[in-house]
Structure 1
Amino acid sequence: MPIKKIKNGRYKVDISIGSDPITGKRRRLTRTVSSKKQAEDVYYQLTQKYNRGQMLSIRDLSFDIIAELYLEDCKLHKKPNYYQNQQYLIHKHIAKNFKKSNLKKVTANDIRDYQQRLINSGLSNKSINNIMICLKCIFDKALEEHVITINPCNSVKNLPLDKKQMKFWTPDQFKEFISLINDEEEFLFKAYYTTGYLTGMRCGEMLALNWNDIDEYRREINVYKSLTYIDKEIVITEPKTKNSIRRISINSKLLALLKTWRKKQQLLFSKLNIPHSGNTHIFQYREKAPTKDIFSRRIRTICKRGELIPIRQHDLRHSHVALLIHQGEDYPIIKERLGHASIKTTIDVYGHLFPNKQKETADKLDDLF
């Protein structure tokens, strides 16, 4: 019987909630209450929850296990650098706070308290939001495993982000930067930064380029992969999005610059006894392709030689957009060169760099009358 009176006069509710999917053993749930009426109410509520699939699993999977299951999913379905980033966030910020937690009892208030502790630690709002997104994904995994019935992170809002002013170099500033580079000893860097400035390619996309990816006849660069390092090993993946797979037209001077670098690279490889071919990475100067950190650090080093304020390596992409706007190009052309999924993305990111577009549009209306 699901309801049974026990010796102390109380009533015990004992119901079956099916079989454990792992062990195959029957699972039971019991509650003890003070009256038969309460027992009947509890029996009805538990039965209804179970029938609607709302019953919590009695498999008490720990936070560590759920986190590992989530990371396994990331490793299988996400890009390697995303997996590495999630692994870092969990080990650095999340695991130590939730290691001993009972996932079934964690509430939205507990999550807000954790968010407040992150705020008090001095982390930026962007970093905190990234941690909270990762935490939500872990609880989503617990939901998927039927350990919990509701994700306590759902009602906790992200922190507001202050939009930082986008940095970029004007054509004159980039010319000044290039003039500070030593052609004899740093020609690689001249070729790399010029390619970034004149194509708007992402760092990983440029590092992944092989000589075979340049079509000299069409003067185009074929962009279809990205390079990163995971645990000191090179990992080649597809670019950021499907729309990032594209062909970028390049000007004659950039093509000539790259051809000059190729000859210098061949000579360098010959001295180092490294084979050179069309599959060699364009911006490679030793046996393995370089990391993006090398090019990031060198920007600051070069700028110290003059009075130019350094920008991030990724800001060369922003600088390319500013250059196109300076030349009068419109959104569709910029979208194609950057590999954005839609014009909306281009407008959302770079719309503020088009200060005169609305005025030009309004002035054109004068021609109608």
Structure 2
Amino acid sequence: MPAIKQYSKKDGSKAYMYSLYVGTDPLTGKPKRTTRRGFSTKKEAALSLSRLQLEIEKNGSIITRHDTTLFEDVYLLWLDQYKDSVKENTFRQTKYAFRDYILPQLGGYRIDKITVPRCQKAVNTWAGQIGMFKLIKNYASTIFKYAISLGICSDNPMAKIQIPVKKKIVSNAADKKIDFYSREELAHFLYCVEKEAELKKLAFFRLLAFTGARKSEILALNWEDVDFSSKRLNIYKTLAIGEKGVIVNTPKTKTSKRIISLDERTLDILKAWRKEQRKVYFAFGFNTSHKTQPVFTNQYNRHIRPSSVIYWMRSIAKKYQVREIKIHEFRHTHCSLLFESGATVLEVKERLGHANIEITMNIYAHVTKKQEEETADRFAKFMNM
């Protein structure tokens, strides 16, 4: 029989309490007890205890999860089933979102006690930290929905918050700068890469600049994806970082799957790199002659991590004093130079695998703006005045 105990409250008055085992918590698998306190008399405490014991006898063990279940407890339970429903890199990114943003704001609170103002404060904080704060908010909302499905709480306060509206700063400049190399800058950069006398790096940057493919798409290539006879490159997979390292995924959209034509110089560089790869890696005990051999590998003949090529870029830019751009901006470079060479918007969209025409048109607008600025100079030069 649980003991009813008397205790002293902060104001010095006396009250009664008891503690009772109520079953095993399904969230943790551990024995669970509930404590009830604040009874004015021992008789009141005994009556409450009798009612609770009767409820347990009638309905089986009860778990007072509302008393102690934290937001983080529910998140961890949800994470177990979420893992098998998404790609590995998506799972990894989701965990980071919770670790860096959601759990610091909500993780330590009892989930059934989290209020709308508490959620509003969290969302306001995220809005000041990350552009994709609405996605973070949706992740948090998912946990409340999951808790409701488990009967842990009855309401989703995240569904009642007001989405913060970020005010745009009015400016004559473009809302977002799109950076890329000019034709001359790209030619000089590739000349510097060639001076490095490392065919692997030259092959990578040449593909980057002359196909417009994404970094993750190029690093996922196998030699069977390069058709030397028809001069084409087959893009249908991407490289990503999973829980245990580098993984190869299918692309997110159907438009990302495409076939890209290759020029003779790019093909020659790829042929030279394939020949050197076979020779060098054979000396280390690797046979790289099979079709599924990755085009770009590290010293262990495994896929190169995406971060490695960023260091290649920084090293070359620093050594030869060339302007450094982001790896993804080689894609912008290819796009802009395609427009300058006379390619149509649809041709560029198909070659780069843009999901919608807006992305293509955004870069097209920057290119045409530059051409418009040069119109007056071209006219004056034509008139020779």
- Give the structure-2-normalised TM-score: 0.69
**Residue 74 (structure 1) shift:** 4.0
1:212-235 alpha-carbon deviations (Å, 9 max, x no partner): 011122211111111223244331
Larger radius of gyration: 2
Match of 1:191 in 2: 203
Match of 2:308 in 1: 294
Match of 1:280 in 2: 293
**Contact in 2 for aligned 1:111/1:153 (Cα 8 Å):** no
Asked if residue 76 in structure 1 is aligned to residue 84 in structure 2, the reply is: yes
Match of 2:162 in 1: 156
**Residue 112 (structure 1) shift:** 2.2
Match of 1:175 in 2: 187
In structure 1, runs of 5+ residues without a counterpart are 1-21, 23-57, 360-369
**Residue 270 (structure 1) shift:** 1.5
**Contact in 1 for aligned 2:211/2:262 (Cα 8 Å):** yes
Cα distance in structure 2, aligned partners of 1:74 and 1:81: 13
**Contact in 2 for aligned 1:126/1:161 (Cα 8 Å):** no
**Residue 192 (structure 1) shift:** 0.2
In structure 2, runs of 5+ residues without a counterpart are 1-25, 27-63, 169-174, 373-385
1:111 aligns to what SS in structure 2? helix
Q: 1:174-253 alignment to 2 at 5 Å?
A: 174-183=186-195, 185-253=197-265
Match of 1:108 in 2: 116
**Contact in 1 for aligned 2:226/2:232 (Cα 8 Å):** yes
Aligned residues: 301
User: Which amino acid counterpart does residue 72 of structure 2 have in structure 1?
Assistant: D
Kindly, what percent of the aligned residue pairs are identical? Answer: 25
User: Which amino acid counterpart does residue 190 of structure 1 have in structure 2?
Assistant: L
**Contact in 2 for aligned 1:69/1:141 (Cα 8 Å):** no
Cα distance in structure 2, aligned partners of 1:187 and 1:174: 17
- Give the structure-1-normalised TM-score: 0.72
Cα distance in structure 1, aligned partners of 2:263 and 2:136: 42
**Contact in 2 for aligned 1:66/1:142 (Cα 8 Å):** yes
Match of 1:29 in 2: none
**Contact in 1 for aligned 2:255/2:354 (Cα 8 Å):** yes
User: Which amino acid counterpart does residue 113 of structure 1 have in structure 2?
Assistant: K
Change (3 A) 1:168 1:356: closer
**Residue 295 (structure 1) shift:** 0.5
User: Which amino acid counterpart does residue 99 of structure 1 have in structure 2?
Assistant: G
**Residue 133 (structure 1) shift:** 4.1
Identify the match of residue 138 of structure 1 among 139, 143, 153: 143
**Contact in 2 for aligned 1:265/1:285 (Cα 8 Å):** no
1:281 aligns to what SS in structure 2? coil
**Contact in 2 for aligned 1:248/1:337 (Cα 8 Å):** yes
Cα distance in structure 1, aligned partners of 2:213 and 2:145: 35
**Residue 132 (structure 1) shift:** 3.2
**Contact in 1 for aligned 2:213/2:352 (Cα 8 Å):** yes
1:118-159 alpha-carbon deviations (Å, 9 max, x no partner): 57xxx6432655543432333343455563444524533256
Change (3 A) 1:261 1:62: same
Asked if residue 92 in structure 1 is aligned to residue 92 in structure 2, the reply is: no
**Contact in 2 for aligned 1:222/1:248 (Cα 8 Å):** yes
1:22-73 alpha-carbon deviations (Å, 9 max, x no partner): 9xxxxxxxxxxxxxxxxxxxxxxxxxxxxxxxxxxx8646422432344345
User: Which amino acid counterpart does residue 230 of structure 1 have in structure 2?
Assistant: G
**Contact in 2 for aligned 1:202/1:314 (Cα 8 Å):** yes
Calculate the aligned-residue CA RMSD, in Å. 3.0
User: Which amino acid counterpart does residue 110 of structure 2 have in structure 1?
Assistant: N
